[in-house]
Amino acid sequence: MTATPLMTVEDLSISFRIEDRWCRAVNGVSFDIMPDETLCLVGESGCGKSITAMSLMRLLPGSARLGGRIGFDGKDILTMPEAELQTIRGRRIAMIFQEPMTSLNPVLTVGEQIAEPLVLHKGMGWAEAKREARHLLDLVRIPDADRRLRQYPYELSGGMRQRVMIAIGLACRPEILIADEPTTALDVTIQAQVLALLDEIRREQGLSIVLITHDLGVVANVADRVAVMYAGDLVETAPAGELFDKPSHPYTQALLRTVPRADAAFDLHPIEGQVPSIQSMPEGCRFAPRCGEAHAACSSPPNLSSGPHAVRCWARRDVA
Amino acid sequence: MAGFILRRLLSTIPTLLGVLTIVFVMIRVAPGDPALAILGDNASQEALDAFRERMGLNDPMWVQYLDFLRGIARGSLGESMISGTPVLTSILEVLPYTLELALGAVFFGVVIGTPLGIMAALKRNGWLDYLLRVVSLVGLSFPAFLTAILLILWLAIDWRLFPVISTPTGGIGDRLYNLFLPALSLGLIMVAYVMRTARSAMLDVLGEDYIRTARAKGAPMRRLFLHHALRNALIPIVTVIGLYFGLMIGNAVLTEIIFNRPGLGKLIVLALNQRDYSTLQGLMVFSAFLVVMVNLLTDIAYGLVDPRVKLK
Amino acid sequence: MTATVTTPPQRTPAQRLLRLARRNKLSTVGLILFGLIALAAIAAPLLSSHDPLAQNILHRLEDRSADYLLGTDVYGRDTWARILFGLRVSLLIGLISTALAMIIGSALGILAGYRGGWVDSLIMRIMDMLLAFPTLITGLFIVAVLGANFWNIVLAITVTILPKFARVARAPTIALKEREFVEAARALGYSDVRIMAVHIAPNVLGEVIVLASLWAAYAIRIEAYLSFIGLGIAPPTPTLGTMIREGFEHILDSPFVSIYPGFAVLLVVLSLNLIGDGLRDAIDPKLRD
């Protein structure tokens, strides 16, 4: 890939204050977002993938301490003034969230919520923005758009609400759409529909999607590139096909073994143990306590190797 | 909406029936003979008998109870034992004065309390928040009569801005002018309650997912607070106003005495002093009815603020 | 992002409350203020050189002086002495009625929550009815009908605030009765009364105590209101409300005769509100952050 990245995340770290102590939830993560691709951020819950996604738009609460650099359009998102950030949020980078049930404002109509970014960023009047909102509902395949626009979120099903969230995200034709586990809260059949929709839209509109998920089945279907996170570290990143064919990091391998596959029918292996608490991280490699291949070197932290298929593991310096 | 109101109205019936029963029983278990209490120890036996007969005090308890309920069903709260005036007539005569007082108090509460509460929420844990918190605690600790006395001394006697005695008559301007001081004095406690509720409601709402969504859209702070958060925060504020309305009707008694204003409070005190049990009974029923109606209005107000309520 | 937070070591409810109070400045201020007021009321005869009932027409409506710390009323009685003795009545009535309301109200709430079904419906319906009366009016009505004396005033205030306790005790009981330790106690064959008293009541205590300090503040105010209206303890016993009413008649000549006792009520109520507010904060941190 020779294209210039849309966004460059360099050495991003995120800390929270817990009982008078700063705890690092994300520990020096770096990755690029390329134009016109779907990048999947994968990991168990608690690995820092959601807060990483939120920090891409600096949406974390003021109590979080952020370090590193998020380069976008020659500027650093992390140090940008709030006013400038507001011209990027919703216009050039948009985000949809895990909980469609609570992510829409209960007292505003669907129409107003979809039209809002257009009014905020495109200088449209409300009437014009509402007309545009109709097209957006068509785009996310919601029938009977006129009626839906006048309804309130509680009158819509979960899948429908997530489609509305997507319509809001797409309103200003952003360059990057961040989707934080957009299907977790939905029924399985609806999940597939929403994912297919996202994938279709990405092709039609030519935007980049950052998809945060713990579901490797989802990753296999839509990802161009995958970044695997574990306990605040980026442990492996690779093009999707390569990651599934040649997973390198013991954690990635373990993660893949947890996915039911048609060819390996009943051989499921859950990963032993739990993600360490951010208050008590292991000194060296953070996966070592759960890793079957841990050895002496693992007591000091490994670095991420370079190249398109990068791994953070003492045992796998050679694979890439 | 009409169906919703009707359903809510019907659901208040058991509560109101219970209220009627409590009032009825209370009046009957009162020690002493109302006839003696009203006509005095020197009254002749004939006069006492005639009084008891007229007031239905000789009937068996259940007949009296049914009569009482039947009266209420016809919209009658009985007649005064002293003057014979229908109780409802006396109440309706002064009700507007008490209502305008209570509404004035709510007005001050909302107009002063809401912005202060929002400011406190925005500056959470800052010095302004802390100051407002202490001020609101002092405010809601103020006994109603002390507020009234201090306001009279300061604004009416020292500065001569407002009349000491509030006479609710004359044109709209005069009437509002007379209302200002009593309503402010009754409203100060409301200011404190509304402010605290507005603060915590605002903080709750600001932590909601849909506020994050609005931020992700690039909505500026002002719009975030005033458009996305405030309407949701209004829901608990409406609740607290409804909840403390009963408290205000009670406190209005004191305000009315101190400002020498006609109203339900003055009527209650008069009935107390004259031992006019039938008027007292009617007043109790009416004030409970008033509180139940305000609760109903609160629910309707929810419907206006929160679209989810209509279908329930 | 979910972070595992270590659970704090287990403490008894009393220890917990103390620790919370220490961490909260406002409630400490309230506690000290209330302690001082209570001490002053208890030591009333030692702190005042005048008899609160002694009239002295020669010294009526006098200003503050070394002899009369806060001046005198229309009968020449010492305002300072009368406030101290009036506080005794306020505190006694306020605390007794709150304690009664707390005990009976939480017992009813726990019973309603634990039993559920018709017991719950019946108790909570009655509580709703009591709540339908405007707060002060309930008290007025009861005292007016039964007669103004100490225990009737206590009864009136108790009935007024009792439903609030029932509601607060009921909600956590419903949650608690599904918990393992209650199930276990039931499996062991403990009686319902024992389970409610030993296993549920202590766990409901925290919220009830916070509420108690806030409603004690209200109870003291109701007592003052009742005696202001003329339904308090009969004269000549000094009560703060009566003093304010009597002083109000001479508001133009000598406003302080009614303002001082008014501030006394304010201070007591404020001290209790400070305690309660701080405690509530500590128990439900969401209200703060």
Interface check A51 vs C, CB under 8 A? yes
Task: Convert the pLDDT of each residue in B154-209 to its tens digit.
Answer: 888 888 888 877 777 777 888 888 889 999 999 988 899 999 999 988 988 988 89
Q: Are B32 and B156 members of one domain?
A: no
A254–chain C nearest CA distance, Å: 21
The answer as to whether A2 is a domain residue is no
Q: Are B106 and B68 members of one domain?
A: no
Please name the member of A102, A120, A165 whose beta carbon is closest to the beta carbon of B218.
A120
For residue A292, what are its two tokens? 């079957």
Q: Are A257 and A132 members of one domain?
A: no
Q: Are A258 and A295 members of one domain?
A: yes
Burial A80-104 (b: 16+ CB within 10 A, else e): beeeebbebbbbbbbbbbbbbbbbb
pLDDT score recorded for residue C284:
60
Q: Are B110 and B40 members of one domain?
A: no
Q: Are B147 and B255 members of one domain?
A: yes
- Indicate the residue among A171, A205, A220 that finishes a domain: A171
Task: Give mean pLDDT, residues C223-233.
Answer: 90
The answer as to whether A285 is a domain residue is yes
Domain containing B261 equals 92-311
pLDDT score recorded for residue C100:
96
Q: Are A56 and A150 members of one domain?
A: no
Could you give the C-alpha distances from C76 to B127, C57, C228, C247, in angstroms and in order?
A: 46, 5, 20, 12
Q: Are A163 and A218 members of one domain?
A: no
> Between B and C, how many residue pairs show a Cβ–Cβ distance under 8 A?
141
Write down the ipTM of this complex.
0.86
Q: How many domains does chain A have?
A: 2
Residues of C in contact with A50 (CB under 8 A): 1
Domain containing A218 equals 7-92+172-316
Q: Are B130 and B258 members of one domain?
A: yes
Confidence of residue C37 (pLDDT cuts 50, 70, 90): very high
Residues of B in contact with A116 (CB under 8 A): 214, 217, 219
> Between A and B, how many residue pairs show a Cβ–Cβ distance under 8 A?
74
Q: Which amino acid is at B42?
A: N
Rounded Cα distance, A49 and A217, in Å:
17
The answer as to whether A1 is a domain residue is no
Q: Phi, psi at residue A308, to the nearest 5°?
A: -65, -30
SS3 content of chain C, % helix, strand, coil (to 5): 75, 0, 25
Q: How many domains does chain B have?
A: 2
Q: Are B115 and B190 members of one domain?
A: yes
Q: Are A203 and A229 members of one domain?
A: yes
Please list the residues that pair with A93 across neighbouring strands. A89, A176
For tokens 């308890």, what's the residue? B61
Confidence of residue B105 (pLDDT cuts 50, 70, 90): very high
- Indicate the residue among B87, B114, B132 that finishes a domain: B87
- Indicate the residue among A131, A152, A171 that finishes a domain: A171
Confidence of residue B97 (pLDDT cuts 50, 70, 90): very high
Interface contact flag, A117 B209, Cβ < 8 Å: no
Helix (H, G, I), strand (E, B) or coil at B88: helix
B125–chain A nearest CA distance, Å: 13
Q: Are A210 and A288 members of one domain?
A: yes
Q: Are A252 and A300 members of one domain?
A: yes
Specify the range with the lowest mean pLDDT, choosing from A10-19, A31-40, C45-54, C99-108.
C45-54
- Indicate the residue among B32, B66, B87 that finishes a domain: B87
Q: Are A189 and A305 members of one domain?
A: yes
Confidence of residue C287 (pLDDT cuts 50, 70, 90): very low
Interface check A45 vs C, CB under 8 A? yes
Q: Are A185 and A128 members of one domain?
A: no
Q: Are A281 and A268 members of one domain?
A: yes
Q: Are B228 and B155 members of one domain?
A: yes
Domain boundaries, chain C: 22-40+77-287
Rounded Cα distance, B152 and A133, in Å:
58
Please name the member of A18, A45, A279 whose beta carbon is closest to the beta carbon of C2.
A45
Interface check B61 vs C, CB under 8 A? no
pLDDT more than 70, % of chain B = 96
For residue A190, what are its two tokens? 């609806």
Interface check A244 vs C, CB under 8 A? no
- Indicate the residue among B65, B87, B109 that finishes a domain: B87
Interface contact flag, A46 C2, Cβ < 8 Å: yes
Q: Are A157 and A268 members of one domain?
A: no
CB A221 within 8 A of CB A195: yes
DSSP per-residue codes, B139-206: HHHS-HHHHHHHHIIIIIIIS--S-SS----SSHHHHHHHHHHHHHHHHHHHHHHHHHHHHHHHHHHH
Helix (H, G, I), strand (E, B) or coil at A111: helix
Task: Give mean pLDDT, residues B107-123.
Answer: 91
The CATH number of the domain where A45 resides is what?
A: 3.40.50.300
A265–chain C nearest CA distance, Å: 32
Confidence of residue B308 (pLDDT cuts 50, 70, 90): confident
Judged on CB neighbours under 10 Å (0-12, 13-18, 19+), A233 is buried
**Residues of chain A under the 70 pLDDT cut:** 1-2, 260-269, 316-320
Q: Are B101 and B229 members of one domain?
A: yes
Note the helical H segments in C116-176.
117-132, 135-146, 150-176
Q: Are A127 and A233 members of one domain?
A: no
Chain B residue with minimal CA distance to A155? Answer: B308
Q: Are B124 and B151 members of one domain?
A: yes
The answer as to whether A130 is a domain residue is yes
Task: Convert the pLDDT of each residue in B226-271 to its tens digit.
Answer: 888 988 888 888 888 888 887 888 888 889 988 888 999 889 888 8
Query: Which class in CATH covers the domain with range C22-40+77-287?
Result: mainly alpha
Task: Give mean pLDDT, residues C250-264.
Answer: 86
